[in-house]
Every structure is written in structure tokens, then in C-alpha cells.
């Protein structure tokens, strides 16, 4: 390892240690803040405000575990590709692929499959703890180990096949345009993300769960009535059988064009009352009407131009300094794959607070739309409390952990917003009235 590379590794490791310390310190002070300010037994204030109470001991313990494993996974995101590079394992996998295939594209695909399998095996103990052991420890999972393992392997296989089908494209762009590949790849990523968003609800998601119409006919009628009060068209609402896996609750809007749909976990329908479920649906309708998915795709695609430009510059600098010491001289060599992944992970680590801030803004818009449509602040607040308490979510995390991991506003801030946002009571105009039918303003 050259002097420059050793220096870069030392600097990066030092930065990571400092970052880890900042996370731990901010979490420590946040725990003290929560213990000192949150009531043990929250009360409903007059007339209909909701107070967030002290988290359970399980919630505190679960948060500590989540922070710890997040830091471990974050470190592995840098350490694993670095291991493939500096051990020359990446070059050895490429040499093996060359012996097995003659066509360049098949060499790339074979390399990727072997790399992915080895990477999956490295992460498997951590995935087993976070996805199975811990979830059972806190009574959040309903899966047997065999069910968990089958779902994990199925997810890996599907992702590996989808990625293997296109992994040669970035390397082809690098080969054909060594100086502009980063721009072309970023631009190509936008239609690719649109395509994947289009097929995900109708091709990929049904491989893992069963999606069907809302079974509760009374609730379904109320949802249809809610939809009819807006300019939304051809909106499909499904429930999915997540109760076979988890006790947590969730809902989401997915798809683009004619595959757009709102999905409610059956646990959400089972654990919330009708008004609270309608609030959840209204929130997802906000995402639907405001086009948050396609906006995120475009925002991500444009942001990737900057990220990939830095990847281009840093990777070329690495190649210049190492002069083939690790078995590859060019970025178009598939053995450089872990180098590209390493630098992408570093760039995404730096960029994720920005993307999370954008996402939190979109979620706040959907929260506001929910309240303007339902005008049921109490149901929104109580539903938010139930959703988060069931998942052992802390009302507030430490600031560093929040900036790097929260793509939604904090649980406490969402309840506070639900309590106070009531422009219709003061006769003020609604921000999202344009999405509602004219006669809905009187409701």
C-alpha cells in the first residue's frame, strides 16, 4: 500500500471514529432530554390534543441496538469493498470469471454474481441479528427462522438477477467514454429508476407478499368516499399480508403511471381504528397527488450526476497512485467494481443528510395534505402514536442519527404538527385545496 493510500485510509478511519463518537454523544444527551422532559403518563389535553409520553424501556433498548448495528453496517459498507480491493480478492474473482467465459459481458456478470454471494455471506450474521434475532427479542416478528431465511435468500436472488442483467451497462459506458461515463450513467439512471418503479408493484412485490382489495367492506367504502373528495383518478388501494411477518404497521404509495397504488399493511388495518386508517390513506394520497415518487426519481438522478462525478475523479486518482498494484489498471476492468462501490458509499454517506432532508419535506407535505383533507387532527395524532409505539420508535433520536437515517420527520414533531395545524378553524385557505373538489372546502 502506497504512502498516499495509507494516509487516506488513516484519515478516513479517524473521521469515522469521530463521527461514531458524535453519534454516541448525541444519543446520550437525547436520552437524558427524553427522560427529563417526557411525561410518564401522557394525558389528552382539551379539546383534542395528544401528548407523547415517555418511551418504554424496550424502546430505549431497541434504539441503542439500532444505533449500534447501524454504525456496524455503515462501517462494513466501507470495509467490505476495501477488503476485496486490498486483499486482491477482486482481481482473483475477475481472473476466475475470465477462465469461465470468453464474452466480456458474461465475465462482468459472473464476477458480479460471485462478488454478491461473498458479500451476502459477510453480511449474513448482521442481517440475521437485525432481521430475525432482534425482531423476536422485542416481539416484532412473526416469522420462523426458516421463513426468514427463505425470504432473505429470495430477496437476494431477485436483486442479484435484476442487477446482473444490467451491471454490464456501467462498465460499457466506462469503456466507451472514460471521461464522460459519469454523466451518461447518471442520465441513464433516471429512466432505469422509472422502469423499476413501474414494474416493482406488479412484478417484484407480488413475489414476496399477497396483495388484494381491502377486505373490510365498510372501511373500503369509507376509503372510496375519501378518494372521491379529491382530484385523484384511478387510484388503487390494496392491503398486503404483512402480519405473517411482523407486528409493525406501515403503509406506502408505490408505482408510477398506471401501476401507482396505495398499499396498507394488514397490521395497520388491524391495529388502528377506521378514522386513523383513513388518515394514513389520506397521507399516501398526498404522495400520490403531489407526484413525490417521480420527483424523487428526478431529484435522485440529477443528484447522482454530482455523486458520480466525484466517483470518477477519486477513482482515477486511486488508479494513478496505485499503478495496478491491486490487479487492475483501468476503471473499465470489472475488478475495479469494489473501488467504485467504496467511493459511491463514501459519497452517499456525505450526501444522505441532504436527500433525507428532501424526503422529510415531502413527508411533511403529505402530513399537511392529510390534515387538510380529513380535518381530523385527533385521529392523525393518535394514529401516529400507535404506529410508532408499536414499532418501539423513539419520539426523538439524537440529531446526528436523525440527519443520517430519518427520511421522515420525527414521531414527536409529527404529533405536534397534527395537534396545531388547523387553518380551516381560522378561516384561512388550505394550501392543497387545488387537489380537492370544490365542495370539499365546507367539510
Active-site positions read 284, 367
Cell of 320: 494513478
C-alpha span between 392 and 91 (Å, rounded): 44
3-state secondary structure of 240: strand
CA of residue 437 relative to chain centroid, distance? 33
Q: Which of 415, 408, 366 is nearest to 389 (CA)?
A: 415
Q: Are 61 and 393 in contact (CB under 8 A)?
A: no
* Three-state DSSP state, 128: helix
Detail the DSSP E strand segments found in 161-249: 211-213, 236-240
Residues 6+ apart with CB under 8 A from 58: 138, 392
Per the document, the length of the chain is 443
Does 151 belong to an annotated binding site?
A: no
Cα–Cα distances in angstroms (integers) from residue 266 to residues 139, 155, 249, 291, in the given order: 17, 21, 8, 25
Closest to 302 in 3D by CA, of 258, 261, 358: 358
- Identify the residue whose cell numbers are 467514454: 177
Nearest CA to 108 among 196, 59, 167, 191? Answer: 167
CA 406 to chain centre: 9
Buried b (16+ CB within 10 A) or exposed e, 150-187: eebeeebeeebeeebeebbbbbbbbeeeeeebbbbbbe
The closest of 90, 121, 86, 55 to 390, measured between CA atoms, is: 55
3-state class of 54 per DSSP?
coil
Distance CA 251, CA 230 (A): 19
363 is in an annotated binding site: yes
The sign one gets for the Cα dihedral 313, 317, 319, 320 is: positive
Question: Residue 283 annotated as binding?
Answer: yes
Residues comprising the binding site for Zn(2+)? 283, 287, 363
Residues comprising the binding site? 283, 287, 363
Amino acid at each position: 500500500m502506497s504512502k498516499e493510500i495509507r494516509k487516506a485510509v488513516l484519515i478516513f478511519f479517524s473521521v469515522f471514529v469521530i463521527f461514531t463518537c458524535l453519534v454516541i454523544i448525541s444519543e446520550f444527551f437525547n436520552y437524558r432530554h427524553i427522560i427529563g422532559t417526557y411525561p410518564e403518563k401522557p394525558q389528552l389535553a382539551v379539546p383534542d390534543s395528544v401528548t407523547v409520553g415517555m418511551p418504554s424501556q424496550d424502546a430505549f433498548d431497541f434504539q441503542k441496538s439500532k444505533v449500534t448495528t447501524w454504525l456496524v453496517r455503515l462501517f462494513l459498507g466501507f470495509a467490505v469493498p476495501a477488503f476485496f480491493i486490498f486483499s486482491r480478492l477482486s482481481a482473483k474473482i475477475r481472473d476466475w470469471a475470465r477462465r469461465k467465459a470468453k464474452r466480456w459481458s458474461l465475465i462482468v456478470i459472473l464476477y458480479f454474481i460471485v462478488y454478491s454471494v461473498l458479500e451476502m455471506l459477510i453480511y449474513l450474521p448482521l442481517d440475521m441479528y437485525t432481521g430475525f434475532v432482534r425482531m423476536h427479542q422485542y416481539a416484532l416478528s412473526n416469522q420462523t427462522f426458516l421463513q426468514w431465511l427463505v425470504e432473505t435468500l429470495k430477496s437476494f436472488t431477485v436483486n442479484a438477477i435484476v442487477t446482473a442483467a444490467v451491471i454490464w451497462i456501467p462498465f460499457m459506458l466506462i469503456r466507451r467514454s472514460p471521461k464522460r461515463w459519469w454523466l451518461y450513467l447518471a442520465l441513464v439512471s433516471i429512466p432505469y429508476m422509472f422502469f423499476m418503479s413501474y414494474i416493482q408493484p406488479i412484478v417484484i412485490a407480488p413475489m414476496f407478499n399477497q396483495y388484494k382489495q381491502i377486505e373490510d367492506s365498510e372501511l373500503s367504502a369509507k376509503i372510496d368516499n375519501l378518494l372521491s373528495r379529491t382530484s385523484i383518478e384511478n387510484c388503487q388501494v390494496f392491503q398486503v399480508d404483512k402480519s405473517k411477518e411482523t407486528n409493525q404497521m406501515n403503509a406506502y404509495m408505490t408505482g408510477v403511471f398506471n401501476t401507482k397504488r396505495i398499499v396498507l399493511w394488514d397490521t395497520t388495518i388491524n391495529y388502528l381504528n377506521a378514522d386513523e386508517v383513513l388518515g394514513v390513506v389520506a397521507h399516501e394520497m398526498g404522495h400520490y397527488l403531489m407526484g413525490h415518487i417521480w420527483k424523487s426519481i428526478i431529484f435522485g438522478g440529477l443528484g447522482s450526476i454530482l455523486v458520480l462525478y466525484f466517483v470518477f475523479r477519486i477513482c482515477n486518482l486511486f488508479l494513478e497512485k496505485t499503478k495496478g498494484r491491486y490487479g487492475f489498471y483501468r476503471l473499465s476492468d470489472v475488478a475495479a467494481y469494489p473501488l467504485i462501490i467504496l467511493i459511491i458509499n463514501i459519497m452517499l454517506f456525505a450526501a444522505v443528510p441532504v436527500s433525507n432532508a428532501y424526503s422529510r419535506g415531502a413527508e411533511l407535505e403529505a402530513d399537511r395534505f392529510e390534515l387538510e383533507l380529513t380535518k381530523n387532527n385527533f385521529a392523525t395524532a393518535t394514529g401516529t402514536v400507535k404506529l410508532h409505539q408499536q414499532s418501539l420508535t423513539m419520539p426523538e433520536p439524537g440529531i446526528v442519527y436523525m440527519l443520517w437515517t430519518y427520511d421522515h420527520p420525527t414521531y414527536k414533531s409529527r404529533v405536534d404538527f397534527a395537534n396545531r395545524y388547523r387553518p380551516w378553524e381560522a378561516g384561512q385557505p388550505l394550501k392543497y385545496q387545488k387537489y380537492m373538489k370544490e365542495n370539499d372546502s365546507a367539510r
